Structure 1
């Protein structure tokens, strides 16, 4: 079941030190230096914040079928979908112009929020590549024995994706951006009735997780109906 993270809960994450952990960087001598700014970011109004969030879209904007995935970067089922099912959907439906695919993050915990900031730091161009890296290595970074270890694991993914250290640090300390994303997630998930991950809105109709064969059958029906 989806556990909605409220803005108050998010504030508690920062007050407990979650924001500071995200902004730690390893100095040349191995010391940990906390960058400032996350905890003091101003909270935006929900109506204004939602307009600032970029939809992460893959495929032809004019594709006849739209698929929206609600996925959490800390959800094992989402990771399996990303590695086992998504490559086939991408090859057979997205690259062929049949499907426009949107990924929307769901926030169960602060680690998923941290991962979202890293993935979005690369912008539209790098988002899906970074998301793939986060999902495919989920068992490695999420199982670190400390919060600092988890933050470091996510930071390394961002660096491997070619995001510069300065830009990555700025993204990972952006508390206002995080609040904006949580508000946006809550609005979308409430409207679409999301209660588990991964969940999918296919042309506005809600579906739960499913194997590729079932997914393909639904997509084929939708594509045929659109012709």
Structure 2
């Protein structure tokens, strides 16, 4: 099984045009959770930083979910990367390198400014401009992008979504074992979570 995942990860990296022989950097990939670890309901989000619907979810829908479900201790949100292209893969690596305390802030900045950097002639330079406001300099971004272990871990996160939950598009959400593909409004999630709690 592990060999199959490594093979698929390598094939995905080659398809994205990402090298596999770069030097590793000391940052470690981890899953990031928004909310109380002991919340009664867990929602997993699979998203790509270059996906417009994912950006809309994070800028227009998530604030209400955070206010009504996450901040009240009813829901925890687990964010998992599902990069759709090489630019999203690199942006995900940079967000991971921001660290626990800045991760969701950097993620939010990248989603809010997606139109400015994701389709630009030099998306990496655009990412550097955005994350500079989150306290990361260009050297830190370059080191992160050279971290092959980080790239591999992000690809493994995508593969896990495909294999465990049949995720094939973004955004996708896993709520109480149910895979929900595509964008939804806040009311949809609030109603689902409230039903699970009652």
Could you tell me how far 1:188 is from its partner in structure 2?
2.9
Structure 2 counterpart of 1:8: 11
Could you tell me how far 1:108 is from its partner in structure 2?
1.2
TM-score (norm 1): 0.76
Structure 1 counterpart of 2:143: 170
Could you tell me how far 1:168 is from its partner in structure 2?
2.8
Whole-angstrom distance in 1 between the partners of 2:12 and 2:194? 41
Asked which structure has the greater CA Rg, the reply is: 1
Q: Is the 8 A contact 2:109 2:131 kept in 1?
A: no
Q: 1:12 to 1:205 in 2, by over 3 A?
A: closer
- Structure 1, 163-172 or 185-194: larger mean CA deviation: 163-172
Q: Is the 8 A contact 2:23 2:146 kept in 1?
A: no
For residues 9-158 of structure 1, the aligned pairs below 5 Å read 9-11=12-14, 13-14=16-17, 39-41=21-23, 53-144=29-120, 146=121, 149-158=122-131
Report how many residues are paired: 187
For residues 173-188 of structure 1, the aligned pairs below 5 Å read 173-188=146-161
TM-score (norm 2): 0.86
Whole-angstrom distance in 1 between the partners of 2:89 and 2:73? 31
Where do 5+ consecutive residues of structure 2 fail to align? Answer: 1-7
Where do 5+ consecutive residues of structure 1 fail to align? Answer: 20-37, 43-51
